[in-house]
Structure 1
């Protein structure tokens, strides 16, 4: 029974399946009975999550968007919400403990709560500055983790992807949500270096927020200004254009930035400016396969970097059109560029 409900929870991310479940009044009634009367906490948890996805999530997101248009000035209860799989708990707990020592206010579900789990999760996301996605294959396979990440994404929270396992790179739904963001790879960098990079990312975002809008109140955090050591260069610095190869897969980070500047797509520098050509190529493929979702991802990233900037559909379309000529031709590809540049790229 538990496995069946977990499968149904995963299916709720499909709109058609969710609609059919929502219309089944007997099923909804049984879920409510499980939440209130079951002695099995795991059944309570999955039943509560199903009810949240089917009855509450959509209206909660809509209300949050209405609220966000009323006022941009908020005082969050937490600095950070940690979204993680229980399989990665040791590393996540270590990150949590260090953040708390640095006086950050962190929400984490240490006890794998049951009952009104999704309500508690949603409240934590709504009242946090940042949501850290602790990425691993176990995280991707968990319907609970997908619910958390999806809700945070729909809320347009500032997401920071953390790699939990050596060599892991997200794909599927997690790859889409994390696309265009800089991963902080704890196994690759080592804990101390990765944690410093994580703190710098927090400071970078808050510094941009403070500088961009003078009406916003500075939010309290646990790092003194003298410890700021930003590793990310501002978009206004070093905007010289370097000639780039015809094949996108040969581009360096400098080539990518030169391409964006040359095509007058500087507004996308915060989203794509730290990628090399292969990562940009992968992002392009995701844009073609998930046009609307990737546009919303780009838009949220641009706004997160500078709330006064708005990514337009025109800019997004110009980006896709401009980059297409540098994409290599792949046999049986459903979206083949047909330019001499891409043909050259294929030949080499």
Structure 2
């Protein structure tokens, strides 16, 4: 339910973030029924600029998130890693906006800079759709000359760092769209990060009769897409 934009707004405007932070780390609360859901809600709202601004002011909370990631504490590590990633992205966006005019002027003086990519394509997908997405990977990797990046197990280091690595090393990102992809905060982070890094995005529909809506629908509407079902 927290995926709904109106619910996120109510949480932010209703001062729900400080309450969620308390619920996420106070020892009297049960990990699975209170702490973990609170972290996941905080991650979902941290995509919003106003929420990110509120969260990053909580220095003790930020330190606790870092401790969880460094100590590799499951299952809290995944939402903690996601929150920290979103906060870093919001900070980077603010800095970019402040220096945009200067950067544009410099590009006019020196011209475009070519980027060499290690991979031609990255496949961004939800693991619930892995069977079809892995077939797409095998076809591209075996039957073509493309170099394809895919994280089949997602067990390597920080999930967010691994995702960022894939995007940064790839020229094209395939967005494998499905209802599961839309509901996944990990997938949302990948898509947003790829768009911010100005990668070529190609939407693929990997769920029968699926019509993307909300944040994911924007990606489908802006681009030509391929239906793999």
TM-score normalised to structure 1 length: 0.49
- Are positions 1:59 and 2:92 aligned together? yes
Compared with structure 1, are the counterparts of its residues 115 and 92 closer, same or farther at alpha carbon in structure 2 (3 Å cutoff)?
same
What is the RMSD of the two structures over their aligned residues, measured on CA atoms?
Answer: 2.3
Tell me, yes or no, if structure 1 residue 82 matches structure 2 residue 123.
yes
Runs of 4+ in 1 over 4 A off after TM superposition: 65-70
1:24-103 matches, cutoff 5 A: 24-40=58-74, 42-56=75-89, 58-59=91-92, 62=96, 69=107, 71-101=112-142, 102-103=144-145
- Give the superposition deviation at 1:57: 5.7
Q: Displacement of 1:147 after TM fit?
A: 0.6
8 A Cα contact 1:44 1:115, kept in partner: no
User: Does residue 1:151 correspond to 2:184, yes or no?
Assistant: no
Which whole-Å CA distance do the structure 1 matches of 2:51 and 2:214 have between them?
Answer: 19
Once the 2 structures are TM-superposed, how far is the Cα of residue 115 of structure 1 from its aligned partner?
A: 4.0
**Is 1:123 equivalent to 2:165 in the alignment?**
yes
* Structure 1 segment 224-263 matched on structure 2, within 5 A: none
Structure 1, gaps ≥5 residues long: 188-348
User: C-alpha distance in 1, partners of 2:135/2:220?
Assistant: 22
The alpha-carbon deviation at position 88 of structure 1 amounts to 0.3
Matched residues, number: 185
Mind listing any 5+ residue stretches in structure 2 that lack a counterpart?
1-34
2 CA distance for matches of 1:100 and 1:43?
Answer: 34
Query: Which residue of the partner structure matches residue 17 of structure 1?
Result: 51
1:22–1:55 Cα contact (<8 Å) kept: no
CA gap 1:8/1:115 in 2 versus in 1, 3 angstroms: farther
Alignment of 1:254-333 (within 5 A): none
Quote the Cα distance in structure 1 between the aligned partners of 2:78 and 2:151. Answer: 13
Quote the Cα distance in structure 2 between the aligned partners of 1:122 and 1:83.
11
The structure having more radius of gyration, on CA atoms, is: 1
Instruction: Kindly provide the CA deviation profile for residues 174-218 of structure 1, in whole angstroms up to 9, marking residues without a partner as x.
Output: 11122231110011xxxxxxxxxxxxxxxxxxxxxxxxxxxxxxx
The answer to which structure, 1 or 2, has the higher relative contact order (CA under 8 A, 6+ apart) is 2
Normalization by structure 2: what TM-score? 0.74
